[in-house]
Amino acid sequence: MLQEKVAVVTGSSTGIGYETALTLTRNGFYTYATMHKLDGESEQKIANITKSENLPLQVIQLDVNNAKSVIDAINRIVKEKGRIDVTVNNAGYALIGAFEETSMDEITAQFETNFFGAIRVMQAVIPIMRKQRSGRIVNITSMGGRIAIPLDSIYHGTKFALEGLSESLQYELEPFGIKIILIEPRAIGSNFWKNLKMATKISDPNIAVYRQLENNMSEALKQMVQNTIPSSEVAKVILQAVTSDNPEFRYIVGKDAASIIEARGNMSDKEFQNLIKKQFNL
């Protein structure tokens, strides 16, 4: 009898995490959909679907910002199932604003969730996968882990950091049958946009110079929101990656994401900077 495959997905209350948890469990994985806070509404929504479709899924609490929460959740999963085959590091949010106007507290909080949160989860699951000599770790970065736009410097910093860490880590883990997979989507139509955080405005009249840049970016972001792709599309790519015998290291999701990343590779730094300036009317 084939052993049941076990998946754990962080940030499953909405968006990519929510769709990925459901997609994995509908395709044969016993899935733990984790949320940093079991607030009732998100938990109940996925629980209702699980019950109506008789899916092998549990919703459990896991706060990627809290080491004890991560360890407790992973220990519970291993105690119940004896293994973890797939881990999807999805929990994260975007912080928008001029770098000069962003406080150290906001910067630290962004890195705690987007970067160190993924690290905490990986450090908890890698020993399990190493003993199994198999596993898939999926890190959700973004096309923003390969290219950068204005007023998003801290978010890009977290995603570039996760990309670099993953690229190095793949060499360490490959001998143990563990694959690191990066998922790089374009703008997603989900609560990700509703959960955007704006950097605190420092009370300094000289910093008003950033207002025109913010206005230009606001108009550009409105267009991005109108041309998003559904979270379910990303979930399908994740399923494809984790069920492949020989997955790619990177998966770009969205044609325009692929186009702009390709353009970045074919242009000089100056040429690409001019492209971004033109795109955002800078």
Give the CATH number for residue 114. 3.40.50.720
Q: How confident is the model at residue 1 (pLDDT cuts 50, 70, 90)?
A: very low
Q: What is the pLDDT of residue 167?
A: 97
Residue 205 predicted with pLDDT over 80: no
Tokens 């959740």, residue located: 73
- Token pair, residue 185, equals 């989507």
Residue 165 predicted with pLDDT over 70: yes
Helices (H), the chain: 15-26, 41-53, 67-81, 104-111, 117-132, 153-173, 211-226, 231-243, 255-266, 269-279
Angstrom distance (rounded) from CA 159 to CA 165: 10
Paired strand residues for 87: 8, 137
Q: Look over the chain and give the mean of its residue pLDDT values, rounded to a whole number.
A: 89
More confident call, 204 vs 200: 200
Q: What is the pLDDT of residue 204?
A: 61
Predicted model pTM: 0.91
Q: Which of 224, 215, 222 is nearest to 185 (CA)?
A: 224
Angstrom distance (rounded) from CA 102 to CA 121: 27
Total of domains in the chain: 1
More confident call, 118 vs 257: 118
First to last CA, the chain: 60
Q: With H, G, I as helix, E, B as strand and everything else as coil, classify residue 98.
A: coil
Which domain covers residue 158, as residue numbers? 5-279
Q: What is the pLDDT of residue 191?
A: 54
Q: With H, G, I as helix, E, B as strand and everything else as coil, classify residue 58.
A: strand
